[in-house]
């Protein structure tokens, strides 16, 4: 879809939830919490309905028609994801419950191959899901976790510090492609190259990137990549771990049970080939099949067109928000993603802002956004965050700003 042909009304018609009203006054829903989870188009919802009403049977285990159809649909999605992120093989695509589980898998499994005293390098802008799993692995295996700080602009990573922290014991580097608070788009390939030069493997958290930019694991040269369906117009409870085959082959299973075994004796077992070695138990095969439709929807709409539309909304919102005295915007990196984190004065807490906006029909996220180390670096306990998606409109941005002007007056900030 060409940017000039972008038809927001036609897109919105595909999202039934956007016709909702909220609050006692029955205000039209303005959904600006897309960084947490995006809404789902009707084609994906219908795929879920079809999965439960036409082809629900356990995958990979049955010879009957329903099982074969469900298996084919799930494996078609695996190949669709492979093409979407540019992986070399569909066997490098592991289905998980989300980004969090994907990172936990790598932290628990790959880190078991490391030696006490080895180091894991993260950054201060990470979501807790890309910090805590490494801490658990460090405690279990005697490793050390270090973090890359921000520059003085409090928007970008200090790459000089990053270079100095990459040492002879650095074995894993894990960082986000896009900050879920600041919107900062990190220089992924540059950071990957620096890590590889130091002998480390790299996990890229792409949860905030995949819905807003083209992601190519081979162009990035990432060793691992993690993301979630629900942030890219797909079902909840479905995630992806990409792993370089040579690494996945070396790693022990993350969980034990059905599907991930080749042979079981009471004394010992052997493991299935990739990707099934890491997919114990019955997966959400209905959600996985529907995820295929979400990827198709994104690409038919045009990822570049979506990104351009979101950028126009971001610029509109930031320019208006900047005119309100006492408003602080966090995250000023050039080329940032369509996320605005902000506070109004000192009296209006993020929670108060979120509650008042909700009464006016506007959904934003408030709090620390599962990024407490970043909040401490910013010198705040929490912020309000508005984030944009394919279906948001300039009129919704204007409604958001008008609501903030009312809140501004309530708190007598100017």
Separation CA 17–CA 182 (nearest Å): 27
Separation CA 281–CA 129 (nearest Å): 23
43 noted as active-site residue: no
CB contact at 8 A, 77 and 288:
yes
**Residues linked to residue 367 through DSSP beta bridges, in sequence order:** 383
Burial string for 30-58 (b: 16+ CB within 10 Å, else e) reads: bbbbbbebbbbbeebbebbebbeeebeee
Q: How many CA within 13 A on the CB side of residue 103? A: 29
CB contact at 8 A, 175 and 130:
yes
Q: Which of 43, 111, 337, 370 is catalytic?
A: 370
Per-residue 3-state assignment (H helix, E strand, C coil) for 66-99: HHHHHHHHHHHHHHHHHHHHCCCCHHHEEEECCH
Separation CA 33–CA 22 (nearest Å): 15
Tell me which residues are annotated as active site. 370
């Amino acid at each position: 879809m060409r940017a000039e042909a972008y038809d927001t009304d036609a897109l919105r018609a595909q999202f039934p939830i956007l016709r909702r009203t909220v609050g006692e006054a029955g205000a039209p829903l303005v959904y600006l919490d897309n960084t947490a989870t995006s809404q789902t188009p009707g084609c994906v919802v219908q795929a879920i309905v079809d999965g439960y009403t036409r082809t629900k049977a356990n995958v990979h285990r049955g010879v009957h028609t329903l099982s074969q159809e469900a298996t084919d649909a799930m494996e078609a999605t695996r190949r669709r994801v492979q093409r979407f992120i540019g992986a070399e093989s569909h066997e490098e695509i592991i289905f998980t419950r989300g980004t969090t589980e994907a990172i936990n898998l790598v932290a628990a499994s790959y880190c078991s191959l490391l030696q006490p005293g080895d180091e894991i390098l993260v950054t201060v802008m990470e979501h807790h899901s890309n910090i805590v799993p490494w801490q658990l692995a460090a405690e279990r295996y005697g490793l050390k976790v270090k973090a890359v700080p921000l520059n003085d602009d409090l928007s970008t990573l200090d790459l000089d510090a990053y270079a100095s922290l990459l040492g002879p014991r650095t074995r894993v580097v894990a960082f986000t492609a896009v900050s879920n608070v600041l919107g900062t788009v990190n220089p992924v390939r540059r950071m990957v190259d620096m890590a590889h030069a130091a002998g480390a493997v790299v996990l890229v958290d792409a949860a905030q990137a995949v819905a807003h930019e083209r992601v190519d694991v081979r162009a990035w040269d990432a060793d691992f990549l993690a993301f979630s369906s629900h942030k890219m117009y797909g079902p909840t409870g479905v995630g992806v771990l990409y792993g370089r085959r040579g690494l996945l082959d070396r790693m022990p299973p993350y969980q034990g049970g059905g599907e991930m075994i080749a042979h079981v004796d009471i004394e010992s077992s052997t493991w299935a080939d990739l990707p099934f070695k890491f997919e114990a138990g019955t997966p959400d095969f209905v959600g996985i099949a529907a995820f295929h439709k979400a990827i198709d929807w994104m690409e038919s709409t045009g990822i570049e067109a979506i990104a351009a539309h979101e950028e126009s909304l971001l610029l509109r919102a930031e320019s208006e928000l900047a005119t309100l005295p006492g408003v602080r915007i966090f995250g000023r990196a050039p080329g940032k993603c369509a996320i605005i984190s902000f506070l109004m004065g000192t009296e209006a807490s993020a929670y108060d802002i979120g509650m008042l906006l909700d009464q006016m029909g506007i959904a934003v996220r408030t709090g620390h956004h599962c990024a407490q180390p970043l909040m401490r670096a910013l010198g705040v306990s929490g912020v309000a965050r508005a984030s944009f998606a394919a279906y948001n409109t300039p009129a919704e941005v204007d409604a958001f700003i008008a609501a903030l002007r009312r809140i501004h007056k309530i708190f007598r900030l100017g």
